Structure 1
Amino acid sequence: MKEKVRIVIWIIVAVLLIGCPFLIQWLMTGLFGTTLGGTNDGWLGFWGGYLGAIITVIGVYLQISLERKRDQERIKKERIADLQKKALENFLNLIHKVNGKYEFIEKCYDEISYLMKYSEVSNETIDKIQQQSISYDDRDYRLHEIKGFVLQINNYYKRSHNELKDIQNQYNEIYANVVTFKINNLQFFPFALDNGLLSDINTSTSQMDLLVKNIENDFEILKILTDLRSIYTTYVQDKDLENIVANLNVIYHGNNNIIEQFKSHDFMKHKKMFDKLMKDTEKAERKYILKTNI
């Protein structure tokens, strides 16, 4: 609609510019008839001044339009640069927050893995105790080893209690931040990586969805830690070593008990993927600073 109005205006201006001299001559010789229409020298001077004025006006208009266009392009580039900077800053903040969570989850994973290995807690040991397929002395030794395992888990839990608060809220916060970023900032992210995890919007969206999925699974390690701690709490109440073994063998998810569930975690794989994402983020930051993407 605006384009049509602009065309109509230009047509009217052109008609007026072309018709104005003829209108003047008609008024001089026709309507009033008071003059002979002017001399050749007079009209030559008139046309020179008239066309010169038109050319000057057109030149000024084109210059103003060009400068305005340049200003608009500059403002647009500055605006894009600001949006890219904000998108990058928000993504860096998001990644560093996730990294903080991953660092704590990794501590939990390493602690449980170490204690499980050190105490030789395994499905095989649990089965032998429950099936009474080992000697009494060996069985008694294994029971106390398993007791030591849950005791150490309980001690670690108490040391980490403050960091373990509001576990579910921490995941929900990460999920909400990722969704908000995808809606508000992702389209402005300064993509600058060839074949990287952040090479374009579609790839980046997939990586962020995968990140949320991995985080959700990895938070299960914290739940396992809480469940292992509750096993020791139960023992404090009933003083029954057999119940520790039975509780370790309780179905946790699907057909896996709590030991199998922990060992089946792909936490280290998830952590490697996150570390790669973090490196790509840092690359994008360096390229943005060098302005190679603008």
Structure 2
Amino acid sequence: MAAGALEGSVALVTGGANGLGRAIVAALADSGAKVGVLDLAPCPLDRPDVLSVVGDVAADGAVDGALAALEERWGPASILVNDAADYPTAGLLEMEPAAWRHVFDVNVTGLFLACRAFVQRYVDAGLTSGRIVSISTGSARSPRPRGAAYASSKAAVETISATLAMELGPLGITSNVVAPGYIDVRGASEANPDRASDELRASLTASIPTGRAGLPADIANAVRFLCLPESDHVNAAVLAVDGGSGAGRFRMPGELTTSGPSAPPTTGSSALPHSAGDPVGAGA
């Protein structure tokens, strides 16, 4: 992909200090965009085309403040990537109401506030072409036990994104979703390390038809594509980046080590845990 494909663009990435978000920031900047990062922690990428703003996406005025800082330095933003997320793992009786509300404050209300501030400044600046890309998860459509808060909040993200695609299309803004599968974030995130055991990681990888876990770069490349001029007619899409794991059950129980074209055909359901974008190993 051409290094200058996004030359002249200004982007804001929420939750861009670690994991998938950091990879997205680097990918956009490497393609020529000037990138702002809004996160609770400073972004460790030390480069002149990245501006780090510390703040909480769910706080009133935080996103608008970050957009204002970007606009002062480089001009109005035409790209918004919603990556900031909270993802506790807890069952119904374990989940405290305050923790549940916090997930929705960050994942849903934070996204709403970010989109609202972004679109208002976009309109005020008289821009005619823009992109909103929101990070979801395969768990939004194929949930797992003890993940109700995260999965349902991301289902809301997908619904909001589709609604915005219809509302904002006439303004020249497309709104799309990238839904990661299992992502190996080892080495990519100090704040949210990959907590999967080697055994769990192996079983998760065995359920992926391509035979490997996803990498932060896989998600970053998908986001970058949706920000390019060439993606102008892609709108209201949910792009699954999961190696095919969301297509169905790739393994019968006990077939964890069989892979490749020689694997026997399988039918029925698998006992493998489904971890499409959930907290185990995922960075969003």
TM normalised by structure 2 equals 0.22
TM normalised by structure 1 equals 0.21
> Greater Rg, structure 1 or structure 2?
1
Q: By percentage of residues, which structure has more strand?
A: 2
Q: By percentage of residues, which structure has more helix?
A: 1
